C-alpha cells in the first residue's frame, strides 16, 4: 500500500496519542481546528539557540505568554525608574519571527512589584504611579498582545473583606473600583486586545475555593453591570491532584461566568502532585497528572466560550513547581524533564480533538 499523508495520519490516529508526537501537527494546530489556541509560558532564556525548549515551543504552541518578563517589577525595578522594555521587546520580536501570537501577562498583580509601591496611598498614588504604568505598558504593546491579563488574582477571601477582594496596594489606593479603572485604562491603551481577569483556585470542591468562586462572580457581575470592558476570565488551572473535584459544581460556576457573556481561557495550566507521588512509578505519576487535566477540563472543552489553553511552561525542566518552596519534582506539564512528551500532552491533544463546539 502506498503511504499517503492521509493514510499515515490515519495510522497515527489509531496509535496511542503519545507516540504520535512526531506525526501530528502540534497542539496549536489541533486547537485551531475548533478556533482555539494552545500555548505556553516562555522566557528569553528558553529561546536561545540550541535550547531544548525551542522545538516543543515551536511545534506545539500557537501562543506564547511571558512567564515573568512583563511583570511590573521586571520592567520597572523601582517606582522612581522608567520602564525598561529591552528584554520584553526581544521576546515580542522572537514571537513575531516564530509566527506566534502573544498573551500579555499581567498589568496589575500584588507580587513582583517595583520597590516603593507599598509607600503609596490613595487617589494620589494611583494617579501618579499606577495610571502611567498601565498607559505606558499597554500603550507600548498596543497591538502586540491579542489577550491581556489586566488584573491578576484580585480575589482573596482570607483577607477578610466583605467583598472577598484581596487587599492589594491598588485596593488600598482606590478601593474595589481599582479593577474597573484598570480595565478602562487598558481598553483605551490597547483597544484591540481581549481583556481578562485572571484567577486561580476556582475548580475544586472545598469551602475556600467556593468562597473564591462567590467573590469572583460578584466582582464580575459588578463589572459587567457597570459596562466595564472586561471580555474574559482566565482560569489559571494550577491543578492539584490531592483535591476533590465535583464536575457539577464547576459547571455551575462556568454557566454563571459564561452567562455574563464572558469568554474563558485556561491560562497557567499545570499539575501539582508531589506530596501524593511517594511509591508510585514515574509513568503512573505522569498518567495521574494527565487524568487530572482531563477530569477538570473536559466540561470546559464543550463550551464555545473557551478561547484557548496555555500551560505554565512547556517542560517540567523549567516548571515553577520545581522551584523555591513548591516542592519536589512535580510531573505536571506536556513535556518531561528530558523533553519527552508526557501523557498530559496526549490528554490535551485528545481534548482538542474531541472538542464538540466551535469558538466563533
What would the grid cell of residue 338 be? Answer: 528530558
Contact track, ligand 9MR, 133-172, x by CB under 6 A: -------------------x--------------------
Name the β-bridge partners of 108. 151
Stretch that binds ligand 9MR, among 63-71, 131-139, 254-262, 329-337 (CB under 6 A): 63-71
Q: Name the residue nearer to ligand 9MR (CB basis): 69 or 355.
A: 69
**Residue 77 in contact with ligand 9MR, rule: CB under 6 A:** no
**Residue 268 in contact with ligand 9MR, rule: CB under 6 A:** yes
CA distance 313 to 28: 15
Q: Name the residue nearer to ligand 9MR (CB basis): 71 or 166.
A: 71
**Residue 115 in contact with ligand 9MR, rule: CB under 6 A:** no
CA distance 301 to 356: 7
**Residue 68 in contact with ligand 9MR, rule: CB under 6 A:** yes
CB half-sphere exposure, 295, CA atoms < 13 A: 17
Stretch that binds ligand 9MR, among 9-17, 67-75, 79-87, 255-263 (CB under 6 A): 67-75
Q: Name the residue nearer to ligand 9MR (CB basis): 71 or 345.
A: 71
Contact track, ligand 9MR, 188-217, x by CB under 6 A: ------------------------------
Binding-site member from 62, 168, 209, 236 for ligand 9MR (CB under 6 A): 236
Residue 357 CB-density burial (10 A; 0-12 exposed, 13-18 middle, 19+ buried): middle
Q: Name the residue nearer to ligand 9MR (CB basis): 112 or 280.
A: 112
Stretch that binds ligand 9MR, among 16-24, 64-72, 167-175, 212-220 (CB under 6 A): 64-72
**Residue 87 in contact with ligand 9MR, rule: CB under 6 A:** no
Map the footprint of ligand 9MR across residues 1-40, applying CB under 6 A.
none
Binding-site member from 71, 101, 272, 286 for ligand 9MR (CB under 6 A): 71
Does residue 106 have a cis bond before it (omega within 30 degrees)?
Answer: yes
**Residue 320 in contact with ligand 9MR, rule: CB under 6 A:** yes
Element (H, E) at 123: helix 122-125
Q: Count interface residues toward ligand 9MR (CB under 6 A).
A: 9
Residue for grid cell 504593546: 141
Element (H, E) at 136: helix 131-140
CA distance 113 to 121: 15
Which residues, 6+ apart, have CB-to-CB distance to 159 below 8 Å?
165, 166, 167
Tell me if 229 sits within 8 A of 192, measured CB to CB: no
CA distance 328 to 95: 31
Q: Name the residue nearer to ligand 9MR (CB basis): 36 or 103.
A: 103
Q: Name the residue nearer to ligand 9MR (CB basis): 157 or 355.
A: 157
Residue whose beta carbon is closest to ligand 9MR:
320
Binding-site member from 24, 34, 61, 67 for ligand 9MR (CB under 6 A): 67
Name the β-bridge partners of 335. 315, 341
Question: If we measure between CA atoms, which residue out of 136, 137, 170 comes closest to residue 153?
Answer: 170
Which residues, 6+ apart, have CB-to-CB distance to 142 below 8 Å?
189, 190, 191, 192
Q: Any idea what DSSP says for residue 130?
A: I
Binding-site member from 84, 111, 115, 276 for ligand 9MR (CB under 6 A): 111
Angle between helices 207-225 and 178-189 (to 10 degrees): 60
Element (H, E) at 222: helix 207-225
Q: Name the residue nearer to ligand 9MR (CB basis): 152 or 287.
A: 152
Map the footprint of ligand 9MR across residues 273-312, applying CB under 6 A.
none
Q: Name the residue nearer to ligand 9MR (CB basis): 112 or 222.
A: 112
Element (H, E) at 268: strand 263-272
Residues in contact with ligand 9MR by CB under 6 A are 67-68, 71, 111-112, 152, 236, 268, 320
Amino acid at each position: 500500500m502506498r503511504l499517503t499523508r492521509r493514510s499515515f495520519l490515519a495510522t497515527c490516529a489509531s496509535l496511542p496519542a503519545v507516540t504520535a508526537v512526531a506525526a501530528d501537527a502540534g497542539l496549536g494546530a489541533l486547537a485551531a481546528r475548533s478556533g482555539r489556541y494552545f500555548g505556553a509560558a516562555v522566557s528569553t532564556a528558553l529561546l536561545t539557540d540550541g535550547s531544548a525548549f525551542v522545538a516543543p515551543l515551536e511545534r506545539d504552541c500557537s501562543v506564547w505568554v511571558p512567564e515573568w518578563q512583563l511583570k511590573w517589577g521586571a520592567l520597572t525595578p523601582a517606582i522612581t525608574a522608567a520602564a525598561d522594555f529591552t528584554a520584553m521587546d526581544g521576546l515580542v520580536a522572537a514571537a513575531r519571527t516564530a509566527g506566534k501570537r502573544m498573551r500579555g501577562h499581567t498589568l496589575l498583580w500584588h507580587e513582583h512589584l517595583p520597590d516603593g509601591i507599598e509607600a503609596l496611598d490613595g487617589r494620589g498614588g494611583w494617579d501618579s504611579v499606577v495610571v502611567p504604568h498601565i498607559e505606558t505598558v499597554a500603550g507600548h504593546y498596543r497591538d502586540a498582545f491579542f489577550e491581556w491579563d489586566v488584573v491578576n488574582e484580585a480575589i482573596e477571601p482570607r483577607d477578610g473583606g466583605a467583598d472577598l477582594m484581596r487587599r492589594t496596594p491598588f485596593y488600598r489606593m482606590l478601593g474595589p473600583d481599582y479593577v474597573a479603572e484598570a480595565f478602562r485604562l487598558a481598553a483605551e491603551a490597547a483597544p484591540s486586545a481581549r481583556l481578562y481577569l485572571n484567577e486561580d483556585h476556582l475548580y475544586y470542591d472545598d469551602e475556600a475555593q467556593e468562597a473564591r468562586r462567590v467573590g469572583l462572580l460578584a466582582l464580575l457581575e459588578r463589572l459587567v453591570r457597570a459596562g466595564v470592558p472586561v471580555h474574559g476570565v482566565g482560569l489559571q488551572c494550577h491543578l492539584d491532584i490531592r483535591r476533590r473535584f465535583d464536575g457539577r459544581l464547576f459547571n455551575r460556576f462556568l454557566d454563571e461566568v459564561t452567562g455574563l457573556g464572558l469568554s474563558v481561557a485556561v491560562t497557567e495550566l499545570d499539575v501539582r502532585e508531589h506530596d501524593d507521588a511517594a511509591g508510585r512509578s514515574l509513568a503512573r505519576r505522569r498518567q495521574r497528572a494527565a487524568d487530572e487535566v482531563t477530569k477538570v477540563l473536559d466540561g470546559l472543552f464543550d463550551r464555545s466560550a473557551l478561547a484557548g489553553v496555555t500551560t505554565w511552561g512547556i517542560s517540567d525542566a523549567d516548571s515553577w513547581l520545581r522551584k523555591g518552596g513548591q516542592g519536589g519534582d512535580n510531573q505536571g506539564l506536556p513535556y518531561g524533564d528530558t523533553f519527552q512528551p508526557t501523557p498530559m500532552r496526549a490528554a490535551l491533544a485528545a481534548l482538542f480533538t474531541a472538542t464538540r463546539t466551535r469558538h466563533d
